Amino acid sequence: MTQYSSDLPVMTAGLGLRRSLMDSLIDLPAGSLDFMEVAPENWINLGGRLQKKFRQFSEQYPIYLHGLSLNIGGIAPLDQDLLLSIKAFMAEHGCPIYTEHLTYCGDDGHLYDLMPIPFTEEAVKHVVARVKQVQDVLGQRIALENASYYCAPDQQMSESEFINAVITEADCDLLLDVNNIYVNSINHRYDAYQFLESLPLQRARYIHIAGHYDEAEDLRVDTHGADVIDPVWAILASAYQHCGPLPTLLERDFNFPPMVDLLAEVEMIRGLQLQAAGVLSESQQSVAKVGA
């Protein structure tokens, strides 16, 4: 596999570029964000006004890619046309990283949802082979996200064992989603911090944080449509203690608050990164909100 350097700068915080946010984001003061993230499927082969607008962002910010439809755990052959389009898009816009969900999303058709892969040895081998194909085409490691899920079909190993096996055997990286850890810990009744420590954190390269929906006392739904809550901020702070202050994205897909509120959450990320790096003053640490 041809590999090239695509190291990400640490202690950086970004926001997802959504079309409904473009007008609010275009005039942000310099330094408000360090990078933006997009799903490449939503931007590849665009033309006209949207393409020109996107070019404005890609010339101003590093663009990180988070795929939605590669179907890494599916049975159907990988979409080679999509992969080649992603590779060309990365080259065109200088995108340093491509990430995907450790899920499947359809074979005979797109499910428009991210479904859990069975936690089995057979599934590990299947996913590893597909990840290696993707990395060969793109010429670099990708990062896979620990996903939220609501059932575990045919579970023969733990979630953590499955993630560790795939990441190690595929020789890929980890996109650590701390909200997914919290959501799954409630829904599947495990300790979030023990789970965090069980992951292949030496492979962690990038972090997501988001809000979710409380469906019931024992059911959380990963929606990216709400503010981040204190217990999730606390898991992020713990992740930084284990991994260092990795680049971190605030995910928000709908129910957008005023931009000032989104930027306040981005600043929360930066504050926790500074705290983890030990560069906050004593007075700053006393007022930094870490969550409980």
pLDDT in tens, the chain (292 residues): 334 345 899 999 999 999 999 999 998 999 999 999 999 999 998 888 888 999 999 999 999 999 988 899 888 899 999 999 999 999 999 999 999 999 867 655 544 456 678 899 999 999 999 999 999 999 999 999 998 777 777 789 999 999 999 999 999 999 999 999 999 999 889 999 999 999 999 999 999 999 987 676 777 777 878 899 999 999 999 999 999 999 999 999 999 999 999 999 999 999 999 999 986 444 445 444 444 3
Work out how many domains the chain is built from and give that number.
Answer: 1
Domain span at 48: 13-287
Q: Which pLDDT value is given to residue 39?
A: 95
48, part of any domain: yes
DSSP 3-state assignment of 11?
coil
Q: Which pLDDT value is given to residue 246?
A: 97
2, part of any domain: no
State which H helix or E strand residue 180 sits in: helix 178-187
5, part of any domain: no
- Return d(Cα 31, Cα 67) in angstroms, integer: 26
4, part of any domain: no
Domain containing residue 170: CATH number:
3.20.20.150
- Return d(Cα 99, Cα 46) in angstroms, integer: 21
